[in-house]
Structure 1
Amino acid sequence: MRRILLATVAATSLVLAGCGGSSDSGGGGLDDVKVSSAKTPKVTVDKGFKVTKTETRVLKKGGGEKVASGDSLKISLAGVNGTTGKQFDSTYATGKPVTFTVSDGMLPGFVKGLVGQKIGSRILVAIPPKEGFGDAGQPSYNIKKGDTMVFLFDLVAKIPDEVTGTSKKLPSDLPQLKLDANKHPVSFTKTKTMDKKKTKESTDVVIQGKGPEVKSGQTLTVQYVGQVYPTGTVFDESWSKQPTSFQIGGDGLIKCWNDTLIGQKVGSRVVIVCPADKAYGDKPPAGSKIGKGDTLIFAVDLLDAS
């Protein structure tokens, strides 16, 4: 099941910046919301609960870094509809936090509730419609016009922005990796000894991470740049935007990524050559800069797997 934090980003856009407000619910606001101490916590909200601006209540203050806009986070959550008092989403039962980036593409109420909070904290956030889904609501979660949403968030961890470590040189038969001033990969450049007709899948670790090995089925968070091999057009990258998360081992990825990233260690930078038969073959994505039969080369920073 796609959780609300992810589903809304894909649909109408889900969380954004600031920190807390006061409640206009007519009672004690979030002070009246009860949270059990169970491993799968129950959030009890009286029917008809409303706020007119985002309100945040810290139940437990963590000792980690403060959350800033642009941070990628791992969060456990439960969501309750204030109008009905019914829970519409929870990650606690599975024990798998969601991963997302706090950005302008999210609902304003989420960022207002999260920015400035410390990693390790447990917080309640009440979000009014104007800072949530507005008049459109969110039918897939039975959230209607006028419904206030109440969320319990456990801020599990902040995901690193990049991998760090000593870089190794790529083999001489590959184009060399070009870095910007921040040492972020931006493209691959021509060398005299590179193989212009390389057609076999290959993997080279240029920064060796020390984290756990990536397993099939995990949610993988990465930064990457992809280029037509050997020194063609850069057709996609995440560094100018934000890290991207996806399930590794699934059908949503080109075969080459599943072949090469599973088993690599988190914290690594991996360079992958993907021949056409392990990438898009004769059916490249519509409107992309990838041509039929193109071999591709990627630099991928493995930031997190969970």
Structure 2
Amino acid sequence: MRKVPALIATAGLAAVALTGCAPAGGSSCTPAAPAGDASRLVQASGDFGKTPKVDFPTPLDAKKTEASTAIAGDGERIISNDQLITLDIALYNGTTGASVTSTGFTGEAASIPQSDLLPGMRDALHCAVAGSRVVAVIPGAEAFGEAGNPAAGVNAGDSVVAVMDVQDVYLSKADGADQYVWESGFPTVVTDENGVPGLTIPKSDPPKDLKFVALKKGDGAKVSKDSTIYVQALIADWKTREVTQSTWTSEGGAQPLPVAQLQAGIQDALVGQTVGSQVLLILPPAEGAQSDSTTVWVIDILGIQ
């Protein structure tokens, strides 16, 4: 998979050191960057997912980031900066009209955390839905900063015009319905308001066999062995009762996992589960645990690539 152009990712990191007629995720969302006179002047014609024909008068600027929808989608909605998104991007110098960078619109859109985007791009995408084309006019301070990025052809004070095709929007946490766990012996999982799980492991000996249960049942697509899924996951050691790995606290955040490449026990736990589900898994060493101790996994299934 291609990554977002380094120009966008570097600038973004430096700047910050949903079904039916209504989009999934609900229709109540307040845009961070409403449409304005400047964004309405940007024309981005052509089919969604294909290289757009972009036209706008120059110089074009805005006091604050403005965003308009050129193509309306009906997929999952971006309601949090924590959501991983897949999109194609074309950036232009709004002052000169020159092209700055593009992902290429080749059908292999980049999946990225929003922290990698320019601040104005994040604002422009808030409330957008999968399947949408968003056009934005971003003042220099909300793009590459007051100094601009002369090496990329964006000087101090230059605005940026962004055309973004939102291919996919992934959940930020499991949002399925809570499920009652009938079987005893499982660890207890409690999540905070952001979805980050806390884990209490029983003081008893771990089970000798693989065990798993869905703590939340999502209503999204079903995971198959051929799927590549995006997940947040926490792993703890049963013996020490300590968390050994967590994407929730790591810099990389949600990660893509090809199911076919996972240990057999994890595959058994995930295949057949649905997007939006949270799965609790007890993995003994014999089932492919990464240590000689039984491990406990809490996996939020956020989407399927």
Normalised by the length of structure 2, the TM-score is: 0.66
Quick check: 1:265 aligned with 2:279? no
The 1-side partners of 2:301 and 2:7 are apart by 20
List alignment gaps of at least 5 residues for structure 1. Answer: 24-28, 282-292
Letter paired with 1:246: Q
CA distance in 2, matches of 1:129, 1:43: 23
Instruction: State the distance in 1 between where 2:149 and 2:262 align.
Output: 35
- 3-state secondary structure, aligned to 1:304: strand
Q: Distance in 1 between the 2:175 and 2:298 partners?
A: 12
**Structure-2 residue corresponding to 1:195:** 206
- C-alpha displacement of 1:123: 2.0
Equivalent residues in 2 for 1:101-140, closer than 5 Å:
101=114, 106-117=117-128, 121-134=132-145, 135=147, 137=149
C-alpha change, 1:14 and 1:89, in structure 2 (3 Å) is farther
Aligned runs of 1:144-163 on 2, under 5 Å?
144-146=154-156, 148-155=159-166, 158-160=169-171, 161-163=173-175
**Cα distance in 2 between the residues matched to 1:274 and 1:298:** 8
**d(CA) in 1 for partners of 2:51, 2:140:** 25
- Across the aligned residues of Structure 1 and Structure 2, the Cα RMSD in angstroms comes to 4.6
Alignment of 1:1-306 (within 5 A): 1-4=2-5, 8=9, 12=13, 18-20=32-34, 29-39=38-48, 40-45=50-55, 49-51=59-61, 53-61=64-72, 67-70=78-81, 72=83, 74-82=85-93, 83=96, 85-86=98-99, 88-90=101-103, 92-94=105-107, 96=109, 98=111, 100-101=113-114, 106-117=117-128, 121-134=132-145, 135=147, 137=149, 142=152, 144-146=154-156, 148-155=159-166, 158-160=169-171, 161-167=173-179, 169=181, 175-180=186-191, 185-192=197-204, 194-195=205-206, 202=210, 204-207=212-215, 209=218, 211-214=221-224, 218=228, 220-230=229-239, 232-237=241-246, 244-249=253-258, 263-267=271-275, 268-273=277-282, 295-306=294-305
Q: How many residues align?
A: 278
Contact 2:86/2:168 (8 A) holds in 1: yes
Q: Distance in 2 between matches of 1:275 and 1:213?
A: 23
Identity of aligned residues (%): 18
* Offset of residue 35 of structure 1: 1.8
Rounded Cα–Cα distance in structure 2 between residues aligned with 1:184 and 1:12:
23
| Contact 1:223–1:242, Cα closer than 8 Å, also in 2 | no
Q: What TM-score comes out, normalization by structure 1 length?
A: 0.66
Report the equivalent of 1:284.
none
Residues 1:60 and 1:99: Cα distance change in structure 2 (over 3 Å): same
* Residues 130 and 87 of structure 1: CA distance in aligned 2, closer, same or farther (over 3 Å): closer
- Unmatched 5+ stretches in structure 2: 17-30
Residue identity matched to 1:98: S
**Contact 1:20–1:112, Cα closer than 8 Å, also in 2:** no
Contact 1:248–1:258 (Cα < 8 Å) also in 2: no
Is the 8 Å Cα contact of residues 190 and 231 (structure 1) preserved in structure 2?
no
- In the alignment, is the contact (CA less than 8 A) between 2:87 and 2:168 conserved in 1? no
* Matched letter for residue 257 of structure 2: I
Aligned to 2:24: none
What amino acid maps onto 1:302 in structure 2? I
Aligned-residue offset at 1:261: 6.7
- What CA deviation, in whole Å up to 9, does each residue of 1:136-163 have, x standing for no partner? 6396xx4644454322234456534324
Q: Distance in 1 between matches of 2:120 and 2:264?
A: 39
User: CA separation in 2, counterparts of 1:5 and 1:117?
Assistant: 23
Change (3 A) 1:75 1:42: same
Query: Partner of 2:21 in structure 1?
Result: none
**Contact persistence 1:122–1:154 (CA under 8 A):** yes
